[in-house]
Each structure stands twice: as C-alpha cells, then as structure tokens.
Amino acid sequence: MISPSEDKTFPLVEPLLSWTSRRQQALSSNVANVDTPGYRSQDYSFEGELSASIALTTTSPRHITPVQETPSARVFDVGTTEKANGNNVDMDRELTEMAKNGLQYVTLVQYLSQKLRTLRSAISDGGKV
C-alpha cells in the first residue's frame, strides 16, 4: 500500500477540483447565453489540465523526455456550428459536457474522501494491535 506521503496523485486533486468548478461556470454561462446574439460557446480542456498537472520525469537516459507544455487551463472556443445570429451554443453538447464534468467532480471528491477515510483510520487505529 502506498503511504499518503508517497501518493503523487493526492496533491493533484485540489487543482482538478478547482478546474471542474471553473469549467462548470463556463458551461453554465454557455447555457445562459443560448439566445444571446454573437455569443461564442467556451470550454476548458480536461486532458490539457491533467497533462499540465502531472509532472513526468525520466528515470533512465533511455527514456523519452516528456514534452514541456504550458498549462492549458485557458478557455477555448468550442467551434460548433454558428446560427444566423452569430451564436454557436449547442444545447445538446453543453448539457452532455455538464453531465461529464459533474461525473469528473464526483469522482475526484470520492477519491479524496476515500483517502481521508484511510488517513483517519490509520491515525485512530494505527497503534492498536
């Protein structure tokens, strides 16, 4: 079993939770502006945020060196089909992405909760034989 001090994924949970919150705000804004003329649908890239959060290192000179990228937690234009009024919000896409984002958030919270339960158990039961 990996000890909490050796767990490299635990520190990544907080920034990913913040990211899902920011993404939910962007998706909600898209839905709220579904009829706003000229509004451009925006989103965040989970894969980009995850790859920016995970630092890869080489342990052998034979390993391929990881590509150094800048954090990609920036908003990007979704690029869906534009309507006559210049708006490109696609409600089906937005609602699907909101559901996916909600599942990612719940998964991260469940992971964090399990880690905290494990730590509490180790602290309270650690000295008992």
Mean pLDDT of 44-58: 61
Give the residue, 99 or 9, on which the prediction is more confident: 99
Closest Cα partner for 23 from 66, 75, 68? 75
Arithmetic mean of pLDDT over the chain: 79
- Whether residue 71 lies inside any domain: the answer is yes
| Domain assignment of residue 5, yes or no | no
Percent of the chain with pLDDT over 90: 42
Enter the pTM of the model: 0.68
- Bigger pLDDT: 128 or 77? 77
> Residue 55: inside a domain, yes or no?
yes
Structural domain that includes position 88:
10-124
Is residue 58 domain-resident? yes
Distance between CA 76 and CA 58 in Å, rounded? 31
Q: How many structural domains are present in the chain?
A: 1
Q: Which residue(s) pair with 43 in the sheet?
A: 76
In percent, the amount of the chain with pLDDT more than 70 equals 69
Is residue 67 situated within a structural domain? Answer: yes
In a domain, 2, yes or no: no
Note whether 99 and 93 are within 8 A (CB): no
**Exposure string for 24-45, b = 16+ CB within 10 A, e = fewer:** bebbebbeebeeeeebbbbbbb
* 8-state DSSP, 126: T
Higher pLDDT, 56 or 26: 26
Question: How far are the Cα atoms of 27, 69, 73, 84 from residue 18, in angstroms, in the given order?
Answer: 14, 20, 11, 35
pLDDT for res 54? 56
Reduced to 3 states (helix: H, G, I; strand: E, B; else coil), residue 43 is strand
Identify which has the larger pLDDT, 92 or 48: 92
The type of residue at 101 is N
